[in-house]
Structure 1
Amino acid sequence: MTQTYDVIVLGGGIGGYTAAIRAAQLGKKTAIVEQDKLGGTCLHKGCIPSKALLRSAEVYALMKESDRFGIEASGVQLDFAKVMSRKTAIVEQLHGGVQYLMKKNKIDVFQGRGRVIGPSIFSPRSGTVSVEQEDGEILTLVPEKLIIATGSRPRSLPGLATDGTTVLNSDDALRLEQLPESILIIGGGVIGVEWASMLSDFGVAVTIVEYAPRLVPSEDEDISRELERLLKKRGVTVKTGAKVLADTLQKGETSVSLTVEHKDQQVVLTAEKALVCVGRQANVDGIGLENTDVKVENGVIRVNEMMQTAESHIYAVGDCIGGLQLAHAAAHEGIVAVEHLAGHKPHLYSPHQVPRCVYSRPELASVGLTEQQAKERGHQIKTSKVHFKALGKALVYGESDGFVKVIADKETNDLLGVHMIGVHVTDYISEAALAQLLEATPWEVGQTIHPHPTLSEILGEAMLAVDGRAIGI
């Protein structure tokens, strides 16, 4: 069976389904090929389920400290089965919403494993997609334009294979039926830190091992240091600058142990389970790229700024092209690809304009350059740092840890970077991202009237502080 389309999207994650919706809006006959469920990693194995669990963990931790707010609560108990059930219900509701959007926009969805084939009787050029469905039937879909959005999967650590029971990856952790008493988290990046925060709030004894000299090493150093301090304050054991000796892995019936090199010593770490969080690997194997001239470099698909591959009619977006590997970046890339193939002039973005968020407790949010990056690029900088302990709304929330840091260029007054750690900072980092997009100066952002008392007013204060104009809230 052969069908033709203006646009076919291989992969139904957020990058893929966003691209498909935009293509349909532009009048293109569009189809998506997805081997699992629409929504991809973000909806089913990443952003949404993990944030649902983080919220439950946050509420549980808050209830255990309710006396700080003058509320005596006894008998507070965690029902982890209900926590997981709530997570599943949220995912299913949003999954239904994505399915509705496909119907609303008249996008055909083909369930099955898609593979790109080369020139054939169906088309004189590569890009046709062969879809193997569950019943074994093979469909042939011929596009005018193809968008590859195959996403990514958890990266493994050589010599430390996950088994889904004792040694887990993030996909496995989302399927836990009960919490372990202790866990060893290998990797202190975004995923590792979020799991550490969540599990610690659930009462699990957590140890993080990170090879780099600090947690979340891609973030500003001041933010990393503050995060480590606050996690340690909550009882999380943090070992940075530590190398895991994978060949020392020992698995028992109820425990796992590993030796790590830390501060010139070998230390044996033991826990009930281990969780490997060492990044994500692009899904570029087994999808037929060898049948095309599409280039794969360093494990990701190479594209230009318009998301075109080496074959101009084939585009790629999202985690499979590397880069930031963020859901909101993938969605924007999908729009760029579609608007370009449709002959429009899409809005391009630079990586430094994309906000980055970590949903630990406290949260991290940033946009732009770190202080080190700014200096490496030759900027003479000026900075400010305003702490939440000076903010009325933070004290009301009972969450006064953390700060907002602003980095600007001394000569031009350009806003170079904004970095936050504190209560709900992910909810207002967009203001800083907008400032970057509009090339606003810190003074201009500081002139924005922020309502009082709110958490966002700390951003305006930090912007004014760059030039010594802070009021002190």
Structure 2
Amino acid sequence: MAKHYDVVIIGAGPGGYTAAMKAAEFGLKAVVIEAKKFGGTCVNRGCIPTKALLHASNMFHMMQNCDEFGVSTDFISFDFGKMQKYKKAAVKRYRQGIEGQFEKLDVDVVYGTALLRRDKTVEVNLCGGGKEYFQGEAVIIATGAVPIMNHIPGADLPGVWNSDRLLAAESWNFDRLVIMGGGVIAVEFATIFNNLCSHVTIVEKGRHLMAPMDDVVGERLEEELKRKGISVYCNSTVTEITQENGSLCCTVTPNEEGESITVRGAQVLMAIGRKPDLSGLLGEDMSLEMENGRLKVSKEFETSEPGVYAIGDVAAKTLLAHVAAAQGTYVVERIAGKPHSVKLEVVPGGMYVPLPIVPNCIYTNPEIATVGITAETAKASGLKVRCGHFSMRDNGKSIITGEEHGFIRLVFEAYSNTIIGAQMMCPRATDMIGEIATAIANGLTAEQMSFAMRAQPTYNEGIGAAIWDAMSGDVE
């Protein structure tokens, strides 16, 4: 006999737990089914642990370079095991906060492996043994994604890791690290291990790092990584991994002309992307339409099965925790018959081009953050633009902290002067991008944005300077 709920949610990551809490706030009876740990990839194997290690490794890096600030130390070292304990403590505390919210809202959590059956019924093989059945007025699939492994020769050798395994490493053996891939996961891990004095090599098959982003950002990031001592091979592929004298030898082959070279590493990280986690999800009596390897969903995030929705990495093109959370909120508001409080994009008055208002953040040093569209995308869509640029070498806070490498670039539609995009590569970019996302969501103009004072000295002054540069610039 199936237990009945208003909403049955498969997966307790950011999309799933946000949907469950929103359902409870609306008075809906919800249950979340989770196969592993509460919090999903983001909390346990992604955003939170990665940023914890970034913070810890950056502290070590700063202490190594503190002499110019008049701070002297006789000996600086790091304990990778203690860093991992700090990371685990941060993850546990974050996870406990979410679990506390669930208790307050009286949301049920069931630990086990979910199997979606017909009639919006979910069969659960419980972690403690046995089975239970849950039927919902609606079902939300939020099972996330898993790392992709490239099946090249040598991919199964000891020392070849994916990001999940590397985050769990207890001991230090990363003096030389080769990273396959040049996306967010790759460059953040490169930053962590470079901070810890590892010799890091990145091999990216695209023409530049962070391929979906603006070319200028990718090129400047590559320059910064190389300046820090990270070797970068773009437009190249690791075609084979062999073991020789205790090292892993990666054959790096150019995608176009050129001879292959061999790069040695103690360890190899495959960070070539993630794919939807659909393993064992569908029962024999259930099938769902797919599109480009993801679950196909409507604009309302409904799958081909009426009443069954899919959110987050399992269906979205943009694999971000805050996107999953926003989609979870949107779906539950639709189920509850409430007005929508979440937007993922806007079309400002007088324009015909949709503008994404989802911030993309990369926690390198300096940080990178983007929102909206680039000047190139705008021009390709037939828009005229004005661009404002500010170099952080002229920013007072950057001069004080010694973090002068970076820039802020704002893009405005030329005739209305409405903000349509931003690309930042500078300290605190991931915090400052929220101002631009808010401005795009509300259709603010350069003049309206300039009304706000920005304190001195702050990194945020750079936004004001970029606005002024755009208002005094030419139409492109």
TM-score range, shorter chain: over 0.9
Distance 2:157 2:386 in 1: 48
Whether 2:326 is the aligned partner of 1:326: answer no
The residue aligned with 2:263 is: 269
The residue aligned with 1:121 is: none
Displacement of 1:164 after TM fit? 8.4
The residue aligned with 1:234 is: 228
Distance 2:374 2:233 in 1: 23
Distance 1:196 1:413 in 2: 38
Q: Which amino acid is the alignment partner of residue 164 of structure 2? A: D
CA 1:152/1:260 → structure 2, altered by over 3 Å: closer, same or farther?
Answer: same
Distance 1:374 1:420 in 2: 17
Distance 1:442 1:155 in 2: 42
Whether 2:209 is the aligned partner of 1:205: answer no
The residue aligned with 1:45 is: 45
Displacement of 1:445 after TM fit? 1.4
Partners of 1:164 and 1:172 within 8 A in 2 = no
Q: How does 1:109-188 map to 2 (within 5 A)?
A: 109-118=109-118, 125=119, 127-159=120-152, 163=156, 165-176=158-169, 177-188=171-182
CA 1:182/1:340 → structure 2, altered by over 3 Å: closer, same or farther?
Answer: same
1:151-206 alpha-carbon deviations (Å, 9 max, x no partner): 00111113267558411110111012214110110101111011111110111000
Counterpart among 343, 350, 358 of residue 348 in structure 1: 343
Q: How does 1:74-473 map to 2 (within 5 A)?
A: 74-118=74-118, 125=119, 127-159=120-152, 163=156, 165-176=158-169, 177-245=171-239, 248-252=240-244, 254-262=246-254, 263-288=257-282, 291-292=285-286, 294-346=288-340, 347-350=342-345, 352-468=356-472
Displacement of 1:364 after TM fit? 0.3
Q: Which amino acid is the alignment partner of residue 390 of structure 1? A: D
Q: How does 1:20-35 map to 2 (within 5 A)?
A: 20-35=20-35
Task: State which drifts further: 426-435 or 220-229.
Answer: 220-229
Displacement of 1:353 after TM fit? 0.8
* C-alpha RMSD of the superposition: 1.6
Distance 1:185 1:146 in 2: 38
Distance 2:35 2:334 in 1: 26
Distance 2:303 2:297 in 1: 5
Distance 2:293 2:384 in 1: 36
Distance 2:318 2:57 in 1: 27
Distance 1:220 1:289 in 2: 42
Gaps of 5+ in 2: 346-354
Partners of 2:154 and 2:241 within 8 A in 1 = no
Displacement of 1:349 after TM fit? 1.8
1:246-292 alpha-carbon deviations (Å, 9 max, x no partner): xx320346311121223522111111111011111001231016633
Aligned residues: 460
Q: Which amino acid is the alignment partner of residue 349 of structure 1? A: L
Task: State which drifts further: 150-159 or 85-94.
Answer: 150-159
Distance 1:46 1:253 in 2: 33
Partners of 2:143 and 2:278 within 8 A in 1 = yes
CA 1:420/1:164 → structure 2, altered by over 3 Å: closer, same or farther?
Answer: farther
Distance 1:356 1:164 in 2: 34
The residue aligned with 2:349 is: none
Task: State which drifts further: 107-116 or 261-270.
Answer: 261-270
Gaps of 5+ in 1: 119-124
Deviation >6 Å, runs of 4+: none
Distance 2:161 2:105 in 1: 38
TM-score, normalising length: structure 2: 0.93
Distance 2:162 2:241 in 1: 15
TM-score, normalising length: structure 1: 0.94
Displacement of 1:423 after TM fit? 1.0
Partners of 1:166 and 1:255 within 8 A in 2 = no
Distance 2:469 2:196 in 1: 38
Partners of 1:387 and 1:403 within 8 A in 2 = yes
CA 1:343/1:161 → structure 2, altered by over 3 Å: closer, same or farther?
Answer: farther
Q: Which amino acid is the alignment partner of residue 406 of structure 1? A: L
Displacement of 1:372 after TM fit? 2.4
SS in 2 for 1:140: strand
1:183-235 alpha-carbon deviations (Å, 9 max, x no partner): 11010111101111111011100000111111111111111111111111110
Distance 1:67 1:12 in 2: 46
Percent of residue pairs bearing the same amino acid type? 32
1:442-467 alpha-carbon deviations (Å, 9 max, x no partner): 23212211111111121121122111
SS in 2 for 1:466: helix
The residue aligned with 2:6 is: 6
1:128-165 alpha-carbon deviations (Å, 9 max, x no partner): 00000123300001111111000001111132675584
